[in-house]
């Protein structure tokens, strides 16, 4: 079984655990502060991997800057905004609906900005995937008291989707070459450029240096920041960004299942039905199309 076949499955499984890790992290540190520690640890570990592996770094200043800027969008702005918004009171269910905007936004942006030509079935798949996310989490959203959710926090959550879409397109268009390990290292440097001043400005930098904190940090860094992100970079470089983005549709339903196991949260019929609909959408978006005979 080749990496191209298993990478999408591994990415979804690893990335979905980020929701559970985020909830655990709030027990031990402020959201942005935790991300600073996570990104700093990722930089150190990736740098060690690069040194041991004799990895070649970008040959010119432009290569360094493109990798750092893409990291500012993909990790610093995107995750920083999402974690901060949830910390301000945006429910995970609503955040999941908002996250469903990304594949749609990426599909449209990829068509206009980098010339990706989506077939009718792939466009349908993106729409079906979003509907599936809606079916899965909308019942929870409808019972939320909107008066308790700060509008500015919701706006920041939506802006986060714009940032990750921009970062994905930027990555595909301008970070085409270089060892992915070196690229990932520089991207987390970019993430720190964003999150360090944000944490200093918005939080009191509280950290409970306990065993639970280090366990959560270890998985967040090794499983997500290194494992899942390396797979995402691979998928973006070796395929269409709209197809890679469509995998995000699978994350909220899978995260709901993981939350049910980890925290005893309710697993509803709409979640299960929505997950099935999402799988259909992702299949349509990612399946290989047969070229017409010439």
Q: Quick one: tokens of 108?
A: 């449209």
pLDDT in tens, 148-207: 778 888 899 889 989 988 998 898 888 877 888 999 999 999 999 999 999 999 999 999
Q: How confident is the model at residue 93 (pLDDT cuts 50, 70, 90)?
A: low
pLDDT in tens, 244-289: 767 777 777 777 777 777 767 666 788 778 878 888 888 788 775 5
Rg over alpha carbons for the chain, rounded to the nearest Å, is 19
* Average per-residue pLDDT for the chain: 83
Within 10 A of 142 (CB to CB), how many other CB atoms are there?
A: 8
Measured distance CA(35)–CA(291) in Å, rounded: 44
CA–CA separation, 95 and 137 (whole Å): 10
- Whether residue 128 has pLDDT greater than 80: yes
pLDDT on residue 196: 97
- For 220-236, write each residue's pLDDT tens digit: 999 999 998 888 888 87
C-alpha span between 87 and 73 (Å, rounded): 20
Lowest mean pLDDT, pick from 6-15, 142-151, 166-175:
142-151
């Amino acid at each position: 079984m080749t990496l191209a076949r298993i990478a999408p499955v591994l990415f979804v499984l690893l990335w979905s655990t980020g929701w559970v890790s985020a909830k655990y992290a709030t027990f031990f540190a402020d959201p942005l502060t935790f991300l600073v520690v996570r990104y700093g640890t990722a930089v150190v570990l990736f740098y060690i991997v690069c040194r041991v592996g004799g990895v070649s770094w970008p040959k010119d200043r432009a290569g360094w800057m493109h990798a750092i800027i893409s990291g500012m969008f993909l990790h610093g702005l995107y995750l920083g905004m999402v974690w901060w918004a949830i910390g301000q009171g945006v429910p995970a269910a609503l955040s999941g609906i908002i996250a469903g905007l990304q594949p749609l936004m990426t599909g449209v942006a990829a068509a206009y900005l980098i010339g990706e030509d989506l077939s009718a079935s792939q466009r349908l798949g993106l729409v079906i995937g979003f509907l599936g996310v809606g079916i899965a989490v909308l019942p929870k959203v409808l019972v939320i008291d909107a008066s308790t959710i700060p509008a500015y926090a919701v706006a920041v959550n939506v802006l986060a989707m714009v940032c990750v879409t921009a970062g994905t397109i930027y990555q595909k268009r301008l970070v085409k070459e270089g060892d992915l390990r070196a690229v990932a290292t520089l991207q987390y440097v970019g993430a720190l450029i964003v999150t360090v001043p944000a944490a200093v400005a918005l939080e009191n930098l509280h950290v409970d240096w306990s065993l639970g904190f280090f366990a959560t940090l270890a998985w967040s860094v090794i499983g997500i920041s290194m494992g899942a992100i390396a797979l995402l970079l691979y998928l973006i470089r070796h395929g269409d960004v709209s197809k890679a983005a469509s995998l995000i549709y699978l994350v909220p339903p899978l995260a709901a299942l993981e939350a049910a196991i980890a925290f005893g949260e309710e697993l509803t019929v709409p979640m299960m039905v929505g997950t099935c609909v999402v799988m259909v959408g992702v299949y349509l978006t990612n399946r290989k199309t047969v070229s017409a005979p010439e």
